[in-house]
A and B are shown apart, each in its own frame.
Chain A
Amino acid sequence: MVRALLSGNEAVAEGALAAGCNFFAGYPITPSSEIMHYMARELPKRGGSFIQAEDELAAINMVIGASWAGARAMTATSGPGFSLMQEGLGYAIMTETPLVIVNVMRAGPATGQATKAAQGDLMQARWGRHGDQMIPVLAPSSPQEAYDLTIEAFAIAEELRTPVVVLSDEFIAHGREVVELREKVEIPSRRKPRDPSEPPFGSPDPRIAPPMPPLGEGYYVIVTGSTHNEYGYRDVHSFETHFRLVKRLVDKIRLNVDKLFRYEVLGDDDAEVAIVCFGSVSRSAKQALRMLRSRGVRAKLLRLVTLWPMNDEVVRRELRSAKTIVVPEMNLGQLIYDVQRLAREDSRIVAVNKVGGGIPIYPSEIVEAALGGSR
């Protein structure tokens, strides 16, 4: 185990390299560019490919092409670029292309505040593409987790043949902390079809991704973003083909929720006050939890590491005892929709929203929200 002082962006890059990433395409954008700088420095000398694309549309599509050619590929961006990449993500979902996309969130919409942290892309990460679709979304809360979850993201991408979003933010990206790096990371290589008759776009068990035929090995694979049958042939008319395909693609993620859903719970089982959070805000929330408990409040913290798919059961169970639920987030209210949906009806849900200016949500604000007006 090596210990290093790394920014969140550097940690993402280190995680990617540890996971065997050998292709990176990106376009400069604050606050994610350092990921690209790191890969630009490391990949050429490690036998990988790095390319600075002409725009984010190109970057995500280059990553898709590289993935089909056998590479472990990734890109990193921020809000405006993430918006442009939605199109490519939709294609990657439809074609079951493994890739990792890191979105370092900044204050939006539009250009917003490029250097200031935010968490406003939660819903976009989940729902940004048109049509029915689902992809895993992981949210680190520190450089250490940025490292670990990037590795995790590659493993999920390969196993389920899906794009995976790592949702970081400017605080994590530019903050430097101590990161423990792993010696060796084993991620199983892609499963190829046994022979050309094994369908590359169909699976009897929706929880298991079909095998992926690499280009150039005589599989004569047909890849298309249009509706296709299990062998890749376009079928843009039939109800059965479309429904079967899209249902399987969503089920591939949804039915693996137990495997994909990571969360952290701290504090009292029978808490009266619960804090629900994700990402960098969790750091303040943890201190807030300690402050509440030291004042004799029975309190707990539920931190979502996986933001999608959502494990409703777990969240419902963890919020069962809470009369007051505080949801601090660096946006105007997004995670709170899940809480409203899953909390018991008589609970008091308090939002703590703050975004812009590079000002974090402080522990005292969370404590105040938890105690304010409590009976």
Chain B
Amino acid sequence: MSVAKHFSRKYLREEVLPTPFCPGCFNGVVMNAMFKAMEELGIEDLRNFVFVSGIGCSSWIPNPLIRADSLHTLHGRAVAVATGVKLANPRLNVVVIGGDGDLVAIGGNHLLHAARRNMDLLVVMVNNMVYAMTRGQLAPTTPLGFRTATTPYGNFEPPINVAKLLINTNANYVARWCVSNFHKLKQSFKEALSEVSKGFRFIEVVAPCITYVVRYEGKTPGQKIKELREACVEVKSISEIDDVERRGKIAVGVFKKELKPGYVELYESYASRAREASQK
């Protein structure tokens, strides 16, 4: 009998393990949820997938860890590169994985416009609440009062609520889960990766940085997961989000789920109109 291996390993490049992440880093848990979803969807290998990431800790998730084509791009530009990949070869499943600093600060414009276009991408935002790779500076998602390398007296800039922002765009799918909500998160991955899914799909995973958030708080990774289980409250409709957040909790759930035609479909019908117009 061969030695049993963790279920994620079939999607990974053995030769680059162990991961480059800090002990206890939740990046690996996010990967587990995604791979579990893929496994349950019957996805055997990832040859039809392209993973695109930018710069930051979570941008190392696909490149080179995942056994698939992957583009590790410039800071903030993953969504733009992914857009190019998808338009040039719509057959590919294009998944962007990045952090909050990468996707929302330096890459915020691209994120917003990909959502506006309902671009056929799955964007996974691992929200670790700080810039971790550059040693713990303020991120646009850092909670008020947080001490970071650049807010040593406590953050006074109100954070952005990315998922809530994206609800009001053309995005087809917007969900937020905490890393502690493993099964729900996995379910979201299944929805966002299933064959019928299209358009812009956004999954935010609240996964505080183990080094610059969790350890600063004097907690262990396990304790943090238990704490998140309490702090993350599932809402059934977006009208409940504010209510939950006013109570100091993190609202999680599937905030938006539609099946509008994605950009690729819209472009194809536009192109056929163009062909008709030119034949006249």
Direct touch of chains A and B (CB < 8 A): yes
Whole-angstrom distance between the Cβ of A138 and the nearest chain B Cβ:
23
Of B47, B63, B82, the contact of A224 (CB 8 Å cutoff): B63
- The bracket for how many chain B residues form the interface is 35 or more
How far does the alpha carbon of A196 sit from the alpha carbon of B166 in the complex, in Å? Answer: 39
Hey, which chain A residues are within 8 Å of B85, CB to CB? 65-66, 68-69, 215
Q: In the complex, are the beta carbons of B271 and A223 less than 8 A apart?
A: no
Stretch at the interface among B26-34, B72-80, B144-152, B250-258: B72-80
How far does the alpha carbon of A88 sit from the alpha carbon of B80 in the complex, in Å? Answer: 11
Could you give, for residues 144-171 of chain B, a 1 whenever the CB lies within 8 Å of some chain A CB and a 0 otherwise?
0000000000000000000000000000
The answer to the question of A112 belonging to the interface, with a C-beta cut-off of 8 Å to chain B, is: no
Stretch at the interface among A139-147, A153-161, A226-234: A226-234
Q: In the complex, are the beta carbons of A225 and B89 less than 8 A apart?
A: no
Of A51, A57, A224, the contact of B83 (CB 8 Å cutoff): A51
Whole-angstrom distance between the Cβ of B1 and the nearest chain A Cβ:
28
How far does the alpha carbon of A58 sit from the alpha carbon of B88 in the complex, in Å? Answer: 15
Hey, which chain B residues are within 8 Å of A68, CB to CB? 71, 84-85
Closest to B276 in A: A45
Could you give, for residues 32-55 of chain A, a 1 whenever the CB lies within 8 Å of some chain B CB and a 0 otherwise?
000000000000110101010111
The answer to the question of B70 belonging to the interface, with a C-beta cut-off of 8 Å to chain A, is: yes
The answer to the question of A109 belonging to the interface, with a C-beta cut-off of 8 Å to chain B, is: no
The answer to the question of A366 belonging to the interface, with a C-beta cut-off of 8 Å to chain B, is: no
The answer to the question of A61 belonging to the interface, with a C-beta cut-off of 8 Å to chain B, is: yes
Q: In the complex, are the beta carbons of A61 and B16 less than 8 A apart?
A: no
Q: In the complex, are the beta carbons of A71 and B64 less than 8 A apart?
A: no
Chain A interface, number of residues (Cβ within 8 angstroms): 45
Q: In the complex, are the beta carbons of A65 and B83 less than 8 A apart?
A: yes
Hey, which chain B residues are within 8 Å of A49, CB to CB? 87-88, 267
Q: In the complex, are the beta carbons of B73 and A91 less than 8 A apart?
A: yes
Q: In the complex, are the beta carbons of B92 and A69 less than 8 A apart?
A: yes
Could you give, for residues 219-257 of chain A, a 1 whenever the CB lies within 8 Å of some chain B CB and a 0 otherwise?
111111110000011100000000000000000000000
How far does the alpha carbon of A330 sit from the alpha carbon of B69 in the complex, in Å? Answer: 45
The answer to the question of A63 belonging to the interface, with a C-beta cut-off of 8 Å to chain B, is: yes
The answer to the question of B274 belonging to the interface, with a C-beta cut-off of 8 Å to chain A, is: yes
Q: In the complex, are the beta carbons of A216 and B275 less than 8 A apart?
A: no
How far does the alpha carbon of A25 sit from the alpha carbon of B82 in the complex, in Å? Answer: 13
The answer to the question of B270 belonging to the interface, with a C-beta cut-off of 8 Å to chain A, is: yes
Hey, which chain B residues are within 8 Å of A217, CB to CB? 47
Of B47, B81, B112, the contact of A62 (CB 8 Å cutoff): B81
Q: In the complex, are the beta carbons of A224 and B267 less than 8 A apart?
A: no
The answer to the question of B231 belonging to the interface, with a C-beta cut-off of 8 Å to chain A, is: no
How far does the alpha carbon of A70 sit from the alpha carbon of B92 in the complex, in Å? Answer: 12
Hey, which chain A residues are within 8 Å of B16, CB to CB? 233
The answer to the question of B249 belonging to the interface, with a C-beta cut-off of 8 Å to chain A, is: no
Q: In the complex, are the beta carbons of A234 and B72 less than 8 A apart?
A: yes
Interface residues of B in 183-220 (CB under 8 A from A): none
Could you give, for residues 77-118 of chain B, a 1 whenever the CB lies within 8 Å of some chain A CB and a 0 otherwise?
100111111111101100000000000000001101100000
Hey, which chain A residues are within 8 Å of B13, CB to CB? 220
How far does the alpha carbon of A234 sit from the alpha carbon of B65 in the complex, in Å? Answer: 11
The answer to the question of B68 belonging to the interface, with a C-beta cut-off of 8 Å to chain A, is: yes
How far does the alpha carbon of A49 sit from the alpha carbon of B83 in the complex, in Å? Answer: 11
Hey, which chain B residues are within 8 Å of A220, CB to CB? 13, 46-47, 67-69
The answer to the question of B223 belonging to the interface, with a C-beta cut-off of 8 Å to chain A, is: no
Whole-angstrom distance between the Cβ of A27 and the nearest chain B Cβ:
11
Whole-angstrom distance between the Cβ of A283 and the nearest chain B Cβ:
35
How far does the alpha carbon of A65 sit from the alpha carbon of B77 in the complex, in Å? Answer: 10
How far does the alpha carbon of A54 sit from the alpha carbon of B115 in the complex, in Å? Answer: 12
The answer to the question of A349 belonging to the interface, with a C-beta cut-off of 8 Å to chain B, is: no
Hey, which chain A residues are within 8 Å of B89, CB to CB? 69-71, 215-216
A-B contact pairs, 21 of them (CB 8 A): A23-B87, A44-B274, A45-B275, A45-B278, A49-B87, A51-B83, A53-B80, A53-B113, A55-B109, A57-B76, A63-B84, A65-B52, A65-B71, A65-B83, A68-B84, A68-B85, A215-B69, A219-B69, A222-B64, A224-B64, A234-B72
Please name the 3 residue pairs, one residue from A and one from B, whose CB atoms are nearest each other, closest first.
Answer: A65-B84, A62-B84, A61-B80
